[in-house]
Amino acid sequence: MPAADPFIGREILDGQFKILQKIGSGGMGSVYKASQPAMNRMVGVKILHPKLNNRKDLVSRFRREARAMSHLTHPNTTKVFLYGELDDGSLYIVMEFLEGKNLNQTVRAEGPFPVARALPILIQVCGALDEAHTTGIIHRDMKPENIFLCQQGALRDYPKVLDFGLAKVTEREMRPGSLILTQEGMVFGTPEFMSPEQAQGTPLTAASDIYSLAIILYEVLTGKLPFDGKGGIDFIQLHVNAKPIPLSQRVPGLTFPPLLDEVIARALEKKPEDRFTTAADFGAAIKAVADGRSVLPRELRRDGALPEVTLAMPHAPGPNAPNAPNASSVPAAALPPPAIVRPGAAVASSGSSSRPGPTSDSPGGATPITMDPNALRAQDRPLSGRPASGRPSSAPPPRPQSLGTLVAVALLCLVLGAAAMVGLMKLSGH
């Protein structure tokens, strides 16, 4: 028969709290339900196992969790009221008491969530993590078990982010003399939900939490992970080397909006810089899917950093034709997909943009061509270091021309061509 828990029934902090029952236990400590008579409420009390009090690394980690959570005020982050040390040296955290189940328990009991239920949960979690990231805190152990679903008034499925015990706190959040627990080359976290960089023990950014959130959303929607692994080491290798199974191909018969496939695939990119920049951006992308959009807002697209410039190519001769539209007057929503202009080749659509193109001919008999500045910069680079004669060139490579220069050159050519045509017509007597 196990020994009775010495904390149950005990009053702590000069009678402010009375511990009633144990509601959970882990490797570092136990969580208890306690009453706070003065406030007429229930609270949760997390206490580090007394046998671990002499472990400086774990004590520092426990204090760090308390400090990290006490700085966060987002409604979807579990609130911390107090933290410190009891009379017997035990470390404690007093936090809000939550009733419900974690996301993992809920999905296993009820099955995969429909899109309409899953997306609002993850949007709120993104908000909580974005606040943490903004204050210099990276969670590092995001998984369904650390998202708790509770009832908040009339709100069902109200998520709360738990357990910042592995949180990475940046220097501005560290107290002087704090013990730095993590170092490059060490791996912490849950293998099934690790980012590739976390699996390799390299320095982490907010993009690591975004990757983990994408796996959580994937599992909530399908009941499966995006990789078929058999154990922790297997999953670590798959995160680093394997391409995830596309969301819509994971479970036969389950279909999802194409934009949702795109959003999750981007959040699961191997390189952190290829994912969404912030958790807020990831949340906004998920919201775009929830709102029924078929494309992401412009500011969230991969190519949103460089503006597009639309040039009107009139069919009528001369740049001053009466029906030639002004490129700046063409609405952005009516722009066609970007075209890449290659030397010696016909103008062709790049096919890389998700922006909708016009469904009818452009006004005024003009064909708008959208030129991609990135493509132009790539094409302006010399294809070879040698000229046509085969001798090495001593001249420096040509500088990439700006788009304004290209337009000016094109217009000058049109004017010179028109002048030459008029001169020929006079010479011929017409």
Q: Cα(256)–Cα(207) distance, rounded to whole angstroms?
A: 24
**Out of 1.10.510.10, 1.10.260.30, 1.10.3720.10, 3.10.110.10, which CATH number does the structure's domain 100-177+185-305 have?**
1.10.510.10
Catalytic residues: 141
Identical fold between 1-97 and 100-177+185-305: no
CB 173 within 8 A of CB 67: yes
Q: Cα(184)–Cα(202) distance, rounded to whole angstroms?
A: 6
Q: Cα(94)–Cα(79) distance, rounded to whole angstroms?
A: 9
Q: What is the residue extent of each domain of the chain?
A: 1-97, 100-177+185-305, 306-349+367-378+402-430
Amino acid at 55: R
**pLDDT tens digits for the chain (430 residues)?**
567 888 999 999 999 999 999 998 876 789 999 999 999 999 999 998 888 888 888 788 788 778 878 889 999 999 999 999 898 888 999 999 999 999 999 999 999 999 999 999 999 999 999 999 998 889 988 999 999 999 888 888 999 998 875 555 443 343 333 333 344 444 567 899 999 999 998 999 999 999 999 999 999 999 999 999 998 899 999 999 999 999 999 999 999 999 999 999 999 999 999 999 999 999 999 999 999 999 999 999 987 544 333 333 334 344 444 444 443 333 433 334 433 333 333 333 333 333 333 333 333 333 333 334 343 333 343 333 333 444 444 445 555 556 666 667 777 777 777 777 766 666 666 5
- Detail the DSSP E strand segments found in 142-246: 147-152, 155-161, 168-169
* H or E element, residue 415: helix 403-427
Query: Whole-prediction pTM value?
Result: 0.66
Q: Cα(347)–Cα(97) distance, rounded to whole angstroms?
A: 63
Could you tell me the fold of the domain covering 1-97? Phosphorylase Kinase; domain 1 (3.30.200)
DSSP alpha helix (H) spans, 251-381: 258-267, 279-290, 373-380
- Detail the DSSP E strand segments found in 26-145: 29-36, 41-48, 80-85, 91-96, 100-102, 137-138
Task: Of 56, 37, 63, give the one whose Cα is nearest residue 46.
Answer: 63
